[in-house]
Amino acid sequence: MSLTALARSLPSTVPFVGPEALERRTGRPFKARLGANESVFGPSPAVVDAMAAAARDSWAYGDPEHFEVKAAIAAHHGVGPENVAVGEGIDGLLGLLVRLTVEPGDKVVTSLGAYPTFNYHVVGHGGVLDFVPYRADDHEDPEALAERAAALHPKLLYFANPDNPTGTWHEGAAVQRLIEATPEETILVLDEAYADFAPGSALPPLVPFRPNVLRFRTFSKAHGMAGARIGYVLGAPETLVHFDKVRNHFGLSRMAQAGAIAALADKAYLRETVARVAQARETLAAIALDAGLRPLPSATNFVAMDCGGDGAHARAILDGVISRGVFIRMPGQPPLDRMIRVTVGRPEELALFAEALSASLRDR
């Protein structure tokens, strides 16, 4: 087989093991799916109706220029359509960005333990990852990231706000300082997948756009469309135009585009979902405290819980919860691997988690 040397060097792996794979392995379906940071509250009924209507026309490709959905996103943010690029979720867009910017041997800076799919793309294109540890308070360290970028002048600098896997966040002023400190030749990748859940003060102004700053958003979280695979990136037109050179022009279905437009129009449903998520976060935090764990403050749709030991201790707790039919996850990188991470759910799902967590801790 005529694989490249890089392809032969890569492990056969994916960043995440899906709950479906675990169900096939055990032969049992999960009672609650609280590990993938999906919205169990689902999309707006208007989104479902729009996607169902679009499904009837799925014999035709979706608009390869994404004209209407880009216009809707631009109007939502008060920017121009030229400031928007759309793709198959943030993951797909990150893959395109790495393809555009990273050649074998190029350096890329990120936090040690941050979103692994970004790392997956970088390594897959031969980039060299350089890691900055999280701060002692389980926040990414924008000051240290800026210092490292100033020293290395990497192709890309990745920063998530709010963060996954911790759920913590920085105020917009700190993010703005990182923006201003990023070298001109480095693209700052601002992953804002959880922006809809964050306090307004956590997000710096969108404008003016800078050629070396890209801000990634998604319909997978607050809008409940993870299975539809649609996200977008906001940035300067002279940067975004390059995505057209490598993207899959028919990658977004008619259903995904119609659903995204309907999601942006139903602002009341978004507000309702954000409120339900905030209430469920409080419930999860209470469950953690009752169990003797320490919940981290979260501006996302999940809560990270410090189990008070090392990675092996947290893994045992996680395995106990999973064995009782509740799907959750944990960070894979020390020292963050002392935590488990639980997505918010409906009251009955959170009750199942509380019961499974209590039973798992009793086994310790």
Q: Estimate to the nearest angstrom the gap between the alpha carbon of 122 and the chain centroid.
A: 16
Check: CB of residue 272 under 8 Å from CB of residue 140. no
The helix (run of H) or strand (run of E) holding residue 159 is strand 156-160
pLDDT of residue 86: 98
Distance CA 225, CA 47 (A): 9
pLDDT of residue 16: 86
Per DSSP bridges, beta strands 107-111 and 128-132 are parallel
Q: Per the structure block, which two tokens stand in for 231?
A: 């996200």
pLDDT of residue 320: 97
Helix then strand then coil, in percent of the chain rounded to 5, is 45, 15, 40
- Residue 333: C-alpha distances to residues 135, 306, 340, 343 (Å): 14, 14, 12, 19
pLDDT of residue 192: 98
**Strand 231-234's sheet: what is its strand order?**
84-87, 231-234, 213-218, 187-191, 156-160, 107-111, 128-132
Helix (H, G, I), strand (E, B) or coil at 216: strand
Q: Where are the chain's structural domains?
A: 16-42+268-362, 45-265
Distance CA 348, CA 39 (A): 15
Check: CB of residue 120 under 8 Å from CB of residue 112. no
Q: Give residue-wise pLDDT tens across range 208-223.
A: 999 999 999 999 999 9
Q: Per the structure block, which two tokens stand in for 311?
A: 């990675």
Which residues are within 8 A (CB) of 190 and not within 5 positions of it... i.e. 6 or more apart? Answer: 159, 160, 161, 175, 179, 213, 214, 215, 216
Distance in Å from the first CA to the final CA of the chain: 48
CATH-assigned architecture of domain 16-42+268-362: Alpha-Beta Complex (3.90)
Distance CA 67, CA 89 (A): 17
Which residues are within 8 A (CB) of 281 and not within 5 positions of it... i.e. 6 or more apart? Answer: 298, 301, 303, 344
Distance CA 236, CA 25 (A): 46
CATH-assigned architecture of domain 45-265: 3-Layer(aba) Sandwich (3.40)
Distance CA 118, CA 214 (A): 14
Give the angle 73-75-76 at the CA atoms, nearest 5°. Answer: 65
Give pLDDT tens digits along the chain (364 positions).
789 999 999 988 878 889 999 999 999 999 999 999 999 999 999 999 999 999 999 999 999 999 999 999 999 999 999 999 999 999 999 999 999 999 999 999 999 999 999 999 999 999 999 999 999 999 999 999 999 999 999 999 999 999 999 999 999 999 999 999 999 999 999 999 999 999 999 999 999 999 999 999 999 999 999 999 999 999 999 999 999 999 999 999 999 999 999 999 999 999 999 999 999 999 999 999 999 999 999 999 999 999 999 999 999 999 999 999 999 999 999 999 999 999 999 999 999 999 999 999 998 7
Distance CA 362, CA 324 (A): 13
